[in-house]
Amino acid sequence: MNAKRHFTSSIVLGAALSVVFCGSCAPKISDQSIRPVSAAEVMTKTADKPKGILVMDTRPEDVFAAGHLPGARNFRLRDVSGERRDPRLEGYKTIFVYAENPGSASARAMTKRLLSLDYSDVRLMEEGYEGWTARGLPVESSD
């Protein structure tokens, strides 16, 4: 009976250590992990509509439809799993993320999620849509 108890204790201890060590293997993503990009730089880098760059708008669908950066695609946080990489994003080398303004939590959260999934060149356009339009940069709307 004592051997069985020792075996069970060893399994429980092993499982507990796995949880502790696996948890420490996850990437640590914080606000310091976020690399900002200016609206002017996004405009310059996307002017010729290069392949491999995605401009991601994290605002609600109706707000996105009313006006967004040219070529942007609308992705909400709920649209991108925090568990695994998204096949819709695999062809992009660079992802620029934005929302309404510098205080928009949705863009910051999406940027962190993408970084935690090992998308390497993810940048946050902190000025957001408000900063883009304040600079007089072009916008488009959805039908």
Per-residue model confidence as pLDDT tens digits over 55-75: 999 999 999 999 999 999 999
Q: Which two tokens stand for residue 121?
A: 């060149």
pLDDT of residue 103: 87
Q: What is the 3-state secondary structure (H, E, C) of 50-87?
A: CCCEEEEECCCHHHHHHCECCCCEECCHHHCCCCCCCH
Q: What is the pLDDT averaged over residues 86-104?
A: 94
Average pLDDT over residues 136-142: 94
Domain ranges for the chain, please list them.
Answer: 28-134
Kindly report the CATH number that applies to the domain delimited by 28-134.
3.40.250.10
Residue type, 126: E
CB-based burial label for 139 (10 Å; 0-12, 13-18, 19+): middle
Torsion over CA: 112, 113, 114, 118 (sign) = positive
